[in-house]
Structure 1
Amino acid sequence: MPVLITIVAVVGVLGVLNLVLALGMIRRLKEHTEVLSNLSGRGSLALGEEVGAFTSTTVDGESVTREALAGDTLVGFFSPSCAPCREQLPKFVAYARQMPGGRGRVLAAVVGQGPDAEKMLAELGEVARVVAEKPGGGALSAAFQAIAFPTVLRVSPGDRGVPVVTDDRVDLDRPVLTLGR
């Protein structure tokens, strides 16, 4: 009988220990879910946010600043190490070809280096003013808070004349719509 009591006591202690560990894991999962939900969708500026000040130079040697984004402008961020970027790039190029104002109303950044980056720069150069940034980003990425790739935004001057994000979920499969500004 004492052996049976000992076995039941050990099983009971193990059950309580298992319950405590499970509750701790659930609490940690809730914390991680909250952190991830705060990060999701925040790969760049959100709808209505102002573009930060920046000065960059395109691969053609043209200076680009926040003030140069005078009208409705399509902005894209791509990385050569990103598989979704390679998939979205042809769609971005096709969409950019339809932009009223041509390549003057399209700004793109390639964040990364190497042969794949050179291909992206060449392809984007046909339809956009293109900025090459080193891995980790540069002034343009910082101004748009672009940390996720690909990121495609549309910006237009806001009430104060400073460009604001007017579309943070550009659907590259749909025809270009003008904003009427």
Structure 2
Amino acid sequence: MTTVAWSALALTAVIATAALALGLRLAARVRELRDSGRGGPPRPSPGTPVLRFATADTTGAALDETALAGPDVLVALLLEGCGPCRAQLPAIRRLMADAPPGEPRPIAVVVGAPAGRAEYVRALGPVARVVEQDDAGAGLAAALGVGAFPCLVVAGGGVVRQVADAPGDLVPGAVR
């Protein structure tokens, strides 16, 4: 082999090694950010206690952790500008509309800028208590330990009972 060929082979090996090292470092950083708890854990686990919170729904009615201390209730957490949240909005609305009448009513938490939340509030207001939040790391989302969206939580007795990414992932019959 000529000197040029050896040089090209050596350069290729250096570039491949650098690309591998960069890829491994990027994967480690993604894992670190995912597990760091920034904005709250991505998803709570069943059995996680509901932390204290105090807020109001869009009708002005007070809502706090006692709303999740009794019978199981469905809580849908959505983020404005989130493609999967928007795509699942019709299915989440149907799930909430199919909940048995009476109390407790399903709760929808919509996080983001006020203008972006309007679509979600209009769609979910007739079938759920809607809570608007500017910050994903506060309020009801933080009390449930949700930092990744969309997220469906069934909570009751003061603890998280079920967690799902989509309505079809919930155990049938567990939603009120």
Q: TM-score, normalised by structure 2?
A: 0.75
Residue 67 in 1 paired to residue 62 in 2?
A: no
Between the aligned partners of 1:23 and 1:82, the Cα distance in structure 2 is 31
Say yes or no: does 1:153 pair with 2:153: yes
Q: Which moved more, 1:80-89 or 1:68-77?
A: 80-89
Alignment coverage as a number of residue pairs:
171
Contact 2:71 2:104 in 1 (8 A): no
In terms of mean alpha carbon deviation, does 128-137 or 171-180 score higher?
Answer: 171-180
Q: How far did 1:113 drift?
A: 2.8
Q: Indicate yes or no: 2:59 matched with 1:45.
A: no
Structure 1 residue 73: Cα displacement: 0.5
Q: Cα RMSD over matched residues?
A: 3.4
Contact 1:71 1:105 in 2 (8 A): no
2:79 paired residue number: 79
Q: Any stretches of 5+ residues in structure 2 without a counterpart?
A: none
Give the Cα separation in 1 of the matches to 2:8 and 2:99. 70
Q: Match of 2:28?
A: 31
> % of aligned pairs identical?
28
- Whether 2:160 is the aligned partner of 1:165: answer yes
Q: Residue in 2 aligned with 1:160?
A: none
Structure 2 counterpart of 1:21: 18
The answer to whether the Cα contact below 8 Å between 2:34 and 2:42 also exists between their aligned partners in 1 is no
1:137 CA drift (Å): 4.9
> Could you say which residue in structure 2 is the equivalent of 1:58?
57
The 1:32–1:96 alpha-carbon spacing in structure 2 relative to 1, beyond 3 Å, is same
Cα shift readout 1:65-92 (whole Å, capped 9, x = no counterpart)? 1112211110011122122222211211
Instruction: Report the TM-score, using the length of structure 1 for normalisation.
Output: 0.73
Q: Which runs of 5+ in 1 are unaligned?
A: 158-162
* Residue of structure 2 in register with 1:134 after alignment: 134
1-side partners of 2:31 and 2:171: how far apart?
A: 35
